[in-house]
Amino acid sequence: MSLIRLNIKGISYSQTQNGAYALILSEEDGERKLPIVIGAFEAQSIAIALEKEIKPPRPLTHDLFKNFSDRFEIVVKQVIIHKLVDGVFYSSIICERDGIEEIIDARTSDAIALALRFKAPIFTYKAILDQAGIYLKTPSKDESELSEQEEEVIEDLISGEDKEKVRVVSEDYTKYSLKELNQMLDEAVVNENYERAAAIRDEISKRH
């Protein structure tokens, strides 16, 4: 399958959903955009890596990983968004040390935050871009900024995503037993639904 290189177009913050962000990737030789809903911490980490003037007083988690890798001569060569299942993107980090390549599974937001710090290219497969990419004919005057049309489409995507999350997080967990709550917590973590996991964990903590 052919790989398509992606560039970071920007990060969009939802005006209606508090704490919701979308990372916008654009294909290098095309006009499609790939929006990925990410968390506030990952959005902050990516934004700091994009803004060279901003230097946090202490290393963020992704900065720590970069410093650790530099010390042990590990290089991130590229990031590949290789799978899309039920709206969740899966990514791999291609690393190299002493001429030996290793493939490490990672959340897409973490992988991109690291790719920025290593100046590594980001790729995806054509099939994923065909499935999840959005095509907008209205370009912005400044290619580094999102157009009004793009902002509206991204807002709809974030709002739709978050409405579903809010519905799940607002579920009444008091009716479940501790055993059921622990099973639900494990499932939420496996599915990377951390908002739901946090709500379940809070309910478990109340019981102890």
> What mean pLDDT value characterizes the chain?
81
Q: Is 98 left (phi over 0), alpha (psi -120 to 50) or beta?
A: left
Q: Region 103-122: what's the mean pLDDT? A: 96
Q: 10-49: per-residue pLDDT in tens?
A: 888 765 555 678 899 999 988 888 988 888 889 889 988 9
Q: 52-89: per-residue pLDDT in tens?
A: 767 778 888 999 999 999 999 999 999 999 999 888 89
> What is the token pair recorded at 83?
């799978």
> What is the token pair recorded at 71?
């010390």
* Res 154: pLDDT: 63
Locate tokens 């809903």: which residue? 37
Domains of the chain: 3-144 (3.10.690.10), 171-207 (no CATH)
pTM over 0.85: no
Query: Strands of 21-27's sheet, edge to edge?
Result: 100-107, 88-97, 75-85, 122-125, 3-13, 21-27, 32-38, 134-135
Cβ of 163: how many Cβ atoms within 10 Å? 11
